[in-house]
Amino acid sequence: MIIGVTGNYASGKDTVAEILQKMNFGHVSFSDLLREELNHRKEQITRDSLIAVGNELREKHSADILAQRALEKVKDGENYVFTSIRNPAEVGKLREREDFIMVLVKAPEAVRLKRIISRNRENDPKTMKELREKEAKENSTDPNAQQLQKVAEMAEVVMINDNTLEKLQSKVEQLVKDYLYQLHLPRPDWDHYFMNIAEAVKLRCNCLSAKKGAIIVRDKQILSTGYNGSPKGVTHCNLGGCERCTLRHLGKIKSGVYSAPCICAHAEENAIAQAAYNGTSTKGATMYTTFTPCSNCAKLIINSGITAVVAKNDYPDKVGKKLFEEAGVKFRLL
């Protein structure tokens, strides 16, 4: 899970991050990303320079550039806390992940000012007026600048920090307990699981035409795979083995014209042939294919005993679909 933490000066957001770090969360500070940028440029690090370089990066690249860089540091299976999030686009980018939640840490102004004065950091505001002036600078109307208030309004969880450290720690621990399982990245359903495998299979394609992939499955077990390309032992299409494909890419013949023979086998054909080669029955199986089978492949699918076909992209071959319907082969687009 990734917990984004935002809040005003001395609200306790850094303390929340520290508590999460002790709970084995990795910490990624967007301010540290800006410090890395300034160090790379060999420029002095000040609060003003951090704001300036952040605005510059957003204008030059995109408003969510810091979120992109933060996500590059995320490792699979680990928990993270992100801090110093100051632009709505950054939250939008992080929300593309289903394991992200935004938390706003709040405390009354008087409490925050008391904390600021107590910690006595250089350049910190010393009066309520100075505090409000500094926070106003973080609420620009420029979409590429800091818009802390808008970020705060995007939070799903508001955590009030107006009591003891122990109380805050208890709230943080409860937050993790409440969302640990909810924010675990979901697994794909079986259809998407197998189609994703078919998408990977098609990368082995050696045909000059569009890459296609197919797998045959029964009882949630893969029986065989296939991709389009030249037969075994024959010069690959992408090395000049198929005269028709070469002529088409040289502009000598149009797509769909078969004046020259095509030696490439379709992904569905290869998947069925591979099962036969290994002595594996395809009776009652399901085929997942990245493209709707053509009429020739449809005939092979029917005669091989496959009873269902799931395709990702539609292909304008009504004959094949009609054959499926007549033969009782269930066909659907994913």
Catalytic residues: 268
Q: How far apart are the two ends of the chain, measured CA to CA in Å?
A: 29
Interatomic CA distance for residues 274 and 252, integer angstroms? 33
Rounded Cα distance, 133 and 78, in Å: 38
Pick the closest to residue 87 from 97, 79, 95 (CA basis). Answer: 95
Neighbouring residues of 315: CB distance < 8 A, sequence distance ≥ 6? 291, 292, 293, 294
- Return the SS3 of 273: helix
Give the DSSP H/E element, type plus range, for residue 152: helix 148-153
Q: Positive or negative CA dihedral for 93, 95, 101, 105?
A: positive
Sheet of 286-291, strand order? 221-227, 213-218, 286-291, 308-313, 330-333
Residue with tokens 């077990």: 221
